[in-house]
Amino acid sequence: EDQVTQSPEALRLQEGESSSLNCSYTVSGLRGLFWYRQDPGKGPEFLFTLYSAGEEKEKERLKATLTKKESFLHITAPKPEDSATYLCAVSGTSYDKVIFGPGTSLSVIP
Amino acid sequence: DAGITQSPRHKVTETGTPVTLRCHQTENHRYMYWYRQDPGHGLRLIHYSYGVKDTDKGEVSDGYSVSRSKTEDFLLTLESATSSQTSVYFCAISDRNTGELFFGEGSRLTVL
């Protein structure tokens, strides 16, 4: 059964304090691993897609990496505006059914 | 922003009443999805559609039905709402080339 777990459940950082979020997954035939950002009261917003182990993608202060069993979202020198819930998701052999993890709630304190 | 609108955005109803949520897209995407989001569970797929009149079940489809009579509209119906269906419901469309999902703003449903 395809499954996604994320840790920690919540993370509180001081502004400028770098850290990483973890996404562990079990899927038959990974077609893609996705990271989304969700602000309170909003729908998730796409950040990255990773397709194969060893792949990395960056966007501003965020960098996503992928291994065969997990993905990390590294946040470098975060700012308060990076506060949000970060969701990890995977799709197996088809994009028909994307499985989401429960998310990590990130708070960045000025 | 992807052209996805959900209605209503907020609804309070009583147990046993029927409820229909509407998702409207202006992007002409073939694939549309309904998810529900609950604390501790994340987003779970209810139903999805891969074309007009073509739908399939997701992970948590019991108690829900869907219809798609036009490319732009995907309806989610709770025939007889229960308190366990209190949730935030998200509609999404898909870029089938990349698997990327574009979400609406959500519909918050409370069943008393």
Is A109 in contact with A80 (CB distance < 8 Å)? yes
**Per mean pLDDT, which range of A15-24, A86-95, B70-79 is the poorest?**
A86-95
CATH class, range B4-111:
mainly beta
Distance from CA of A17 to the nearest CA of B (A): 26
Would the CB atoms of B105 and A49 count as touching at under 8 Å? no
To the nearest 10°, report the CA torsion of B97, B99, B105, B111. Answer: 130
Please report which confidence band the pLDDT of residue A22 belongs to, taking 50, 70 and 90 as the band edges: very high
Q: Which segments of chain A does DSSP mark as H helices, in order?
A: none
Q: Which helix (H) or strand (E) holds B22?
A: strand B19-25
Would the CB atoms of B102 and A87 count as touching at under 8 Å? no
* The pLDDT of residue B69 is above 70: yes
**Per mean pLDDT, which range of A90-99, B12-21, B100-109 is the poorest?**
A90-99
> Rounded to whole angstroms, how far apart are CA atoms A110 and B11?
36
Query: Which distant-in-sequence residues (6+ apart) come within 8 Å of B39 by Cβ?
Result: none
pLDDT mean over B49-56: 94
Domain boundaries, chain A: 3-109
> Considering only CB atoms, which chain A residues are within 8 Å of B45?
97-99
Please tell me if residue A31 touches chain B, with a CB cutoff of 8 Å.
Answer: yes
Chain-wide mean pLDDT for chain A?
95
Domain boundaries, chain B: 4-111
SS3 (DSSP) at A46 = strand
**Per-residue pLDDT tens for A50-82?**
999 999 999 999 999 999 999 999 999 999 999
Compare CB distances from A43 to B45, B90, B98 and report the shortest one's residue: B90
* The pLDDT of residue A28 is above 90: no
Is B67 in contact with B47 (CB distance < 8 Å)? no
Is A87 in contact with A101 (CB distance < 8 Å)? yes
SS3 (DSSP) at B15 = coil
Is A2 in contact with A99 (CB distance < 8 Å)? yes
**Per mean pLDDT, which range of A9-18, B43-52, B94-103 is the poorest?**
B94-103
**Per-residue pLDDT tens for B81-98?**
999 999 999 999 998 788
Give how far Cα A63 sits from Cα of A35, A79, A82, Å: 10, 15, 13
Sheet strands (E) in A10-78: 10-14, 19-26, 32-38, 45-50, 56-59, 62-66, 70-75
pLDDT of residue B1: 56
Sign of CA dihedral A31, A32, A33, A37: negative
CATH superfamily of A3-109: Immunoglobulins (2.60.40.10)
